[in-house]
Chains A and B, each alone.
Chain A
């Protein structure tokens, strides 16, 4: 069971950190601390939460980088998806299961379902251009500042894989992470210290 004092404590801290500061023009628009529902006070770590807050966007950007360079270098949809998934795992560890639930607008199955659909359709797409299944081509795109960028059409498949993996990690966090915590709470077990 979550300690009622713990909840009050957290609500207070969220208020102090984020509630009132949005009025100033340079204040953060969101609370710095994660607003998740942690099972026990001893499970919270200020250092981890702040670090997560700082690292989370960086890891996501890095995962997109891995996705894009994957055709010629180390990376690709699978590893990029895992890296992005790890960012969410970090938030889950720092903020508890509730943290991922609060800001989420799509269900994880929708994410990995879309990913799989994109991957399969990208396998079939070459048929429309008279090529065989899964064949890929190189497209040159000229952008104003960056110059010519070459894109492999197999990137689309990688995007599908990326979404698939991210969706699966989120689903695992939901079912095995938050789900088990909830079951423990319902069973009335105290969190381990």
Chain B
């Protein structure tokens, strides 16, 4: 009990402690860097331990303060949350290394920041808590911790136009938080509990209409956070305006935490027996709007943002199928999506750093001037497009296999998945042709010299490339270990739909 309670709370408490230390010693740049990297590496190690524990002996549960669920707050790590926590913490670590190195390259070794490191670790604590909590209200708190830190990260040291773009993000996020809080109040009024495992039983007893209303409210809440079409509009306007590593962090983690919450609540609280038609429609809309939107962009980061939205649709498809393979496939796709999108945004940061612009029609010839960068872009691009033998292919295959077994509507959506993959490939090939082929061009001057990120400089530090390459390696590892990973996510999918192990682990005794 104690060992488990320690291991499961530390991924939340360590980043908080790290954030506190970073604030107190805000003048020691070196200490901040060491604390950040050590803390996030520790979280990744703990997540790996949790994944092994959850996979071998069922969900790991800790009751905070010794108050057992449903009275107290429970932290739960089952296969799904441990896997996503592991992937997320690896991405967070790599992006931090990249960000630290960018700051060293641009501002020198001695420059400390009072906000960046603490807020980065706060965000990481919020993400860990969101994955691990077994309580609807604590999920809200986790989202708030995460979002509040992200408001600071998106708007610090930046220009008026970018603050304007950040405002969209803040307003939409606050709107969804308000709705989330309302939904929690209604859920509590209807059932008298906010413990997810306890709710799983009590929701079944509610009248069908009430369940539908609560389910749809939570769908809208997490739909905004996960950028489901038509609630995605804020994302391509705000993410591209964040500094490179911050955009990579947001693209990798925030929408997936939203999707995780959607997956968790819909499977645990609103279980259903057949494919979910509404979600199938939303999946189609998300895939197509995202992919077609990406084709129309000239801004590299906006293009990637639309592709991000498009591939959220793939995960929705897995959820819509609502069978163990589908849900497991969605979990695997989420793990792959976290890594690949963060990598692509980091690569985009490196490209912009060299060319001084995000406009595709003003770049060219990078394959000749920066062949390493070309390789770093090509691998995640192929992964996102889902070409064999990459992780994207494995994850997409798992989704398609799940889809073809459950009826005509799902088969039709599976066809849309193929179309969206093709459109993704077209969009990325367009980037490849514009950016990496053609005549090399001299870098454009930094049009915004006061902001966080210096661009248009040839000075790139090797660790920035190493961090990006590390993420590419994580993505390749997902492909290499596709066998065991698919087995874990399949078992995760079975658990999610069965609900039994989760409830027994949290509540104990009779499910």
Contacts and interface: CB of A to CB of B under 8 A. Distances in A.
Interface of A: 107, 109-110, 112-117, 120-121, 123-124, 127, 130-136
Nearest to A167: B23
Given A109-B26, A109-B114, A132-B5, A116 B66 contact: no
10 contacts: A113-B20, A113-B118, A116-B16, A117-B24, A120-B13, A121-B17, A132-B5, A132-B64, A132-B65, A133-B65
A127 B21 contact: no
Interface of B: 1-2, 5-6, 9, 13, 16-17, 19-24, 26, 62-66, 114, 118
B195 to A, nearest CB: 17
A117 B16 CA distance: 8
Nearest to A136: B65
Contact of B62 (A113, A120, A133): A133
A117 B13 contact: no
Given A127-B2, A127-B6, A130-B2, A120 B63 contact: no
Contact of A117 (B2, B5, B17, B114): B17
In order of increasing CB-CB distance, the 5 nearest A-B pairs are A113-B23, A113-B24, A116-B20, A117-B20, A134-B65
Contacts of B9: 123, 133-134
Q: Is the interface of A mostly helix, strand, loop or mixed?
A: helix
Contacts of A123: 9, 13
B20 A133 contact: no
Contact of B21 (A117, A133, A134): A117
Given A113-B23, A120-B13, 9 more contacts: A110-B23, A113-B20, A113-B24, A117-B17, A131-B2, A131-B66, A132-B2, A133-B9, A133-B64
Contacts of A115: 20
B21 A113 contact: yes
A112 B66 contact: no
A114 B1 CA distance: 30
B227 to A, nearest CB: 31
Nearest to A116: B20
A132 B66 contact: yes
A117 B20 CA distance: 5
Contacts of B114: 109
B66 A135 contact: yes
B5 A133 contact: yes
Given A116-B19, A123-B13, A132-B2, A110 B24 contact: yes
A134 B2 CA distance: 12
Contacts of B23: 109-110, 112-113, 116
Nearest to B114: A109
Given A109-B114, A127-B6, A133 B24 contact: no
Contacts of A107: 26
A115 B6 CA distance: 22
A8 B16 CA distance: 48
A93 B17 CA distance: 34
B19 A132 contact: no
Contacts of A133: 5-6, 9, 13, 62, 64-65
Contacts of B65: 132-136
Nearest to B66: A135
Contact of A134 (B26, B64, B118): B64
A126 B101 CA distance: 38
Nearest to B72: A134
A134 B24 CA distance: 23
A130 B2 CA distance: 7
Nearest to B73: A134
Contacts of A113: 20-24, 26, 118
A132 B1 contact: yes
B62 A114 contact: no
A136 B65 CA distance: 7
Contacts of B24: 109-110, 113-114, 117
Nearest to A107: B26
Nearest to A135: B66
Best-buried of A116, A121, A127, A131 by chain B (most CB within 10 Å): A116
A109 B28 CA distance: 14
Nearest to A115: B20
Contacts of B6: 127, 133
Nearest to B24: A113
Given A109-B114, A120-B13, A127-B6, A132 B21 contact: no
Best-buried of B23, B114, B118 by chain A (most CB within 10 Å): B23
Contacts of A131: 2, 66
A124 B62 CA distance: 13
